[in-house]
Structure 1
């Protein structure tokens, strides 16, 4: 039997060998004589279809800023891959990184400048757009702005923006406002994004920014309210670092604290479910254990003067008994806040068992290096800044700030100067005009909001009330508040009597209110600088090079500002003529690299364009065993003085990490008035009760982003819908994720149409049972619900979650409380 099998297999081998020989044109007489075989035609390579070019660019699907290689053949983009020379991408991309060509060739894009012919505005009104030339469009806008300036009402012009990429787009707005004369240039969307985390760090370590992280060397990761494996910046690189952290030795241990079973929580070593808005209570209990168990980093934090002393629950310490080093206010913090913040207390507040809190605290406190990170899940509440301060303080207790395997802040690139200095082109109106006496329309910097960076969500209600005044003209870049702002129907009403200029490439909701459309080019058609978002701390700047010339009659936003500026009366026009174009601006920025070449040899505009990125490693400063050192080119050798630490690293009043915040104490009266905290306590990192919005609802309502969110611009991309289908939604929707018992208590079956209601309205959705979430929490991924944006996005379910999100904000950071709403649930 085996002999027969051997003969058969040998015969098959000979047959296949003959076939290979024939196909290669090497047929012998003996083989061709075999029955069933014949010569075949010579194989030929496919004829080339055209020249392929590879262009360096930067993805714009999220804030990560991954470098990409864009493949273009015969003028058409057909492939996008991660740039192997870009330290963020490392030759890789996330699931949405390949969608750029779909944005470029979106059939619903604006094809050129448009003007409105229908004076009525609303979601059921056709704008009646008709095409116009760029000259007509820019002349129309400039004429309106010049008229406002002549009347002394230039403050009634506002610029709004979302994602800014660098000096060559959003960075152009500040000088425009200064030269033209408006306090409202520009109002960013950060108060509807992540200002809570930045403000928490500003209050404790003096840096108003996001952190950079040294994930490769981290041994413990405590993730609180951050969708680390879904939407944490820089997302693509975070996924790569996850693989490194979880496969190195020792493996990075991960504890995730969240209100739902996220992909991050599912992949973690420990999953802790927390009641929304109580993250600060959890962090304070962890801090209590770290101190009471003697686990703090003494070389960084400081220590008792008497080595026999320790922190004992319920017992105060004398302030003089503790010798502070780099953490200011430890004794007060223990005496006035932490002394009774036991895990048992936190269990009652958060719902996390005291045993789990204690285990997590001991692990975190005894592992070096360890990092605690957080985002909007913890800070998207009335008490968000205090929640964030409590979490960030854990990094100080274990000495992770500016340490190997810890966290720091991002350095900026060595840019050259612009072609002209705007300060040299100010006329008397720009210097001393009546506009300087006017507050911003969002009331930033006034007694109403003295501590915030932006309050975009307040603009619509302020305009409707005429408080402090009415907007006349508004320009929008990379933001769509009629869809994304809390309670966006207020924006629908407010913008009916405002002259709107929209610059989006796509027909979003705000664009449907536009009087003039000045369409931006997509990112594959732009030239612009891209300094990195916080990454690994060392300076880095990528360059976005057009893969193709604009396929429609569009202009990059920075060039729109320059061309508009050339039309403004007075010396403003001279300034913008001196700038010339965005290409001239970018070339001047790149001139700075000549004196500080990048590690990859980039020292000019041409080499920047060729390599796509400039960077300088390593991070300039390092904290080692409680001392700070500066990199000298070979090692961290030069020790910093306390004054230098305060200048570069801890930019606080004390020059240290502050658990009694001097910054907050400067605003004590305001915080006491708005939050009810006694003025003598406002500086302490402390527990503050959340204030839930939404009325009398009995369920928490959470709207996380998904990995396919694509900056809110992916809803009109069919390929994005396809990837969503097996994960969080069906063909035309994303599901409302409901715990089975919660649904059954209300007579709701899996797949039922349901209604979710808050105090400002209702939306409908399709129910899907998810037993892994908290029973008191509904989860609706933030993705769809558009009534515009294009043929595939329009009217695809579920309803827009923003329409049941009350406009309530953290008084300190101004962050909109997207995650603090209460709702009711019923069958539709």
Structure 2
């Protein structure tokens, strides 16, 4: 039938009649459309927990005929209010990714390297675990268990205990590590060394009158995305939103004030805001205190006698003023930060007028740089000045979630494990130039990215490496070091759902469940003034031969090790683990999976005579049905009155803990705190070494050769790096401000592009002192002159048929980590990726992507 204008009009004109009766159309075509009955989709919502970020939102997955088809926030959740962010909605496509590893694999090509075919062959779980157990027992028999390295990535509570905490300790290796130091750990140093809280924070958004998103974009990434989005309307109505970020982020677009700061100068801006708050008399007197006679003696450039000021819940404010804040006028900070002095003053006054119902929400953009500890301290110190700590509408430490403890393993640690398990870890923590004092304790921070350096310097040390849910060659700065290091490991076992870049170096690949849909375990999270324990449980049928690495694989491996002469792990599991409901002990991996999950969550659902705080749950089956437990609401002002976990019991502007740490580390190496700080590349001297202050940015690359500051940021569709192989992620990538679908772009200011002779869509090389990547250009005024920005997530050369343009050969776009320099905030041990610490050069490239 030829469609003419006449026929088209006849078709559209009769559309209303088509539902109820046969309609004769042009040229004798007759169509009858019958009304279809409407009814709810047939299926069942099953509770689980998302692992798209470390918020671990409680979710529900819709099961239809054994398949996971849709996702929503758990309708019982007080943290996400029944919603989930875009990352959660990607879960079904990730679960059924056809490129998932479907059965155990064995490498047959001994050569390892980028682009080299491992020539895997499929093998059974029995054969795979036999090989792994043989290699492990060889280390024990040789008396060198410390040469086993375990590295964990995204994990649940059971993984932390059963793999990270148990396996290596009983085996006798001190070398168990997490990848947390690649993410955002330095921000914990701000609240840690001021108020004794080495943790991410919660925020009373529902009662806040002013929220400052500083180096974070919680509408798109980081934590609490569903919570923040749901609160946006009310926040804009009753308060003021402010964003400090060198890039026009989603948060900046939603804010009344955007301060496009020069990367790495956040400490100067924080000092200037503190300067205005104090000179204008806008500090919170209930929390901080006041001058004895009520007269404000904070005068620009002039010191204050500490005896004239009486502090309530703080310690050392006057010292901070005298040593640092008195000279940081808005005009001085404006020059340092490339901002407008009047805007700084206006923003500071807005914050002060809203106090104490203010949130200074600090993110990794502030402090994931070589001098980040002090930047984190000075930005978080604003919460102390404003009196928002523990206060209504302010910032809070997390409510404690309910979780059970696994039984002690101490009596199962044999003499070999005792002798070797306390040795020095190979990540360099505790070295003169790496205090890694994350919890006010020397050597308590993990230095994940430094492991590769040790392995390259000592290529014969690690003989067996086991890792789960990791991809350090892609996710770590200057990741090619990891490729070289992994190529030298004699035996490497990778437990993952997807064949990532790291998997290409594995000798044995063990396919893990996609835990949000197929696994079983318990995870905890917090947000919106509550905490929760979420149950991960099967929400669909497993369609491939995969196993949960946290509990199923550990049991099966323990059985193999017992058969080969090392029964300790199996004895511990089979003897000490008891079902808290039935009293049964495990006899196989499925029973062990269930029992470990029930132990981890038992305080949420075990019925006792005393009501538990928060949700009242009636037994295990009720817990499975609900899928989660909500805590009681946060308590306000619980640390006021000398109850902060600091040496003084107060919010400290002069940190007693940091002073002790630096003095102890100096004594260990027979030197001074000043020389320790110098060795760690900080500028501080004397008392400034243990107080909030501004440190000038430390940048890698000569400005003349590398004139641009590189800004790394995260996509709202980046499920911890595991969504790049999903068509949905690639299609909707344009939802990230300035980005494009199915591509990868470097965002550059039009002024800079014109000077370079670069136009929109041109292909460019981005070069740094450590590498070069190639991508397209997007002319965008959302970054200032002299800075360029690029979302992290593209540039995979493996990982799947979608993530890479040509699997194992051609990446889709460029990986930011290939141009980021390997450096650290050494007081925490955290890797650097923000603050413009890596300079880059931009050069037009004639090739086509």
Do 1:475 and 1:500's aligned partners in 2 also have CA atoms closer than 8 Å? yes
Aligned with residue 227 of structure 1, among 198, 217, 221: 217
Higher mean displacement: 321-330 or 571-580: 571-580
Q: Does residue 689 of structure 2 align to residue 692 of structure 1?
A: no
- Separation in 1, partners of 2:31, 2:462: 81
Matched residue, 1:188: 178
RMSD over aligned Cα, in angstroms?
Answer: 2.5
- Report the Cα distance in structure 2 between the residues aligned to 1:403 and 1:300, rounded to whole angstroms: 9
After TM superposition, give the deviation of residue 588 of structure 1 in Å. Answer: 2.1
Deviation at residue 412 of structure 1 after TM alignment: 2.7
| Paired residues of 2:758 and 2:844 also in contact (CA < 8 A) | yes
* TM-aligned CA deviation for residue 47 of structure 1: 11
Instruction: Report whether the alignment pairs 1:719 with 2:689.
Output: no
> Which residue, out of 459, 472, 487, partners 1:481?
472
How many Å apart are 1:170 and its aligned residue?
6.2
1:333 correspondence with 2:348: no
The count of aligned residue pairs is 770
Q: Can you list the C-alpha shifts for 1:80-114, whole angstroms capped at 9, x where unaligned?
A: 22222122332322223221111111111111111
1:822 to 835, 839, 848: 839
Q: Given that residues 672 and 679 in structure 1 are in contact (C-alpha distance below 8 angstroms), is that contact kept between their aligned partners in structure 2?
A: no
382-391 vs 66-75, which moves further: 66-75
The 5 Å alignment of 1:725-764 reads: 725=734, 727=736, 728-764=738-774
Distance (whole Å) between structure 2 residues aligned to residue 398 and residue 725 of structure 1: 38
Contact 1:590 1:604 in 2 (8 A): no
Give the SS at the match of 2:150. Answer: strand
C-alpha contact (below 8 Å) 2:77/2:630 kept by paired residues: no
Distance 1:516 1:255, change over 3 A: same
CA contact (8 A) 2:495 2:510 kept: yes
Counterpart in 1 of 2:818? 803
Residues 584, 763 of structure 1: alpha-carbon distance in 2 compared, 3 angstrom cutoff: same
CA contact (8 A) 1:153 1:435 kept: no
1:576 lines up with 2:561 in the alignment: no
- Distance 1:43-1:390 versus aligned 2 partners, 3 A rule: closer
How much has 1:741 moved relative to structure 2?
Answer: 1.2
Q: Is the 8 A contact 1:417 1:592 kept in 2?
A: no
Q: 1:398 is matched with which residue: 373, 380, 386?
A: 386
Matches within 5 A, 1:151-300: 151-168=142-159, 172-185=163-176, 187-247=177-237, 251-300=238-287
| 1:592 pairs with one of 579, 600, 603 | 603
CA distance in 2, matches of 1:194, 1:48: 42
Per the TM alignment, residue 328 of structure 1 is displaced from its structure 2 partner at its CA by: 0.9
Give the drift of 1:22.
7.5
Provide the rounded CA distance (Å) in 1 between the counterparts of 2:38 and 2:287.
Answer: 65
Name the counterpart of 1:605: 620
Aligned residue runs from structure 1 range 625-704, under 5 A:
628=638, 642=642, 645=643, 650-668=644-662, 669=673, 670-674=676-680, 675-695=682-702, 696-704=705-713
Q: TM-score, normalised by structure 1?
A: 0.89
What's the CA shift for 1:294? 1.0
- The alpha-carbon distance between structure 1 residues 41 and 762, as it changes in their structure 2 partners (threshold 3 A), is closer
Shift of 1:656: 0.9
- State how far apart, in whole Å, the 1-side matches of 2:741 and 2:341 are: 43
Compared with structure 1, are the counterparts of its residues 529 and 144 closer, same or farther at alpha carbon in structure 2 (3 Å cutoff)? same
Report the alpha carbon displacement of residue 536 of structure 1 after superposing the two structures with TM: 3.2
- Which position in structure 2 is the counterpart of 1:10? none
Q: Which moved more, 1:749-758 or 1:140-149?
A: 140-149
CA distance in 2, matches of 1:400, 1:298: 11
Structure 1 partner of 2:540 = 548
1:86 to 77, 102, 109: 77
Matches within 5 A, 1:264-663: 264-368=251-355, 369-418=357-406, 420-431=407-418, 433-436=419-422, 438-450=423-435, 451-452=437-438, 453-466=445-458, 470-498=461-489, 499-522=491-514, 523-532=516-525, 534-559=526-551, 560-568=553-561, 569-578=566-575, 579=577, 580=586, 581-593=592-604, 594=606, 595=608, 596-597=611-612, 599-619=614-634, 621-623=635-637, 628=638, 642=642, 645=643, 650-663=644-657
How many angstroms apart in 1 are the aligned matches of 2:302 and 2:768?
45
Instruction: Give the distance between the partners of 1:684 and 1:169, measured in 2 at CA.
Output: 33
CA deviation after TM superposition for structure 1 residue 491, in Å: 0.8
Q: Tell me the SS of whatever aligns to 1:79.
A: strand
Cα drift, residue 276 of structure 1: 0.6
In the alignment, the residues of structure 2 paired with residue 195 and residue 39 of structure 1 have an alpha-carbon distance, to the nearest angstrom, of 64
The alignment's TM-score, normalised by the length of structure 2, stands at 0.87
Aligned 8 A contact 2:19 2:35 in 1: no
Question: Conserved in 2, the CA contact under 8 Å of 1:337 and 1:686?
Answer: yes
Q: Which moved more, 1:76-85 or 1:803-812?
A: 76-85
State the distance in 1 between where 2:507 and 2:31 align.
Answer: 70
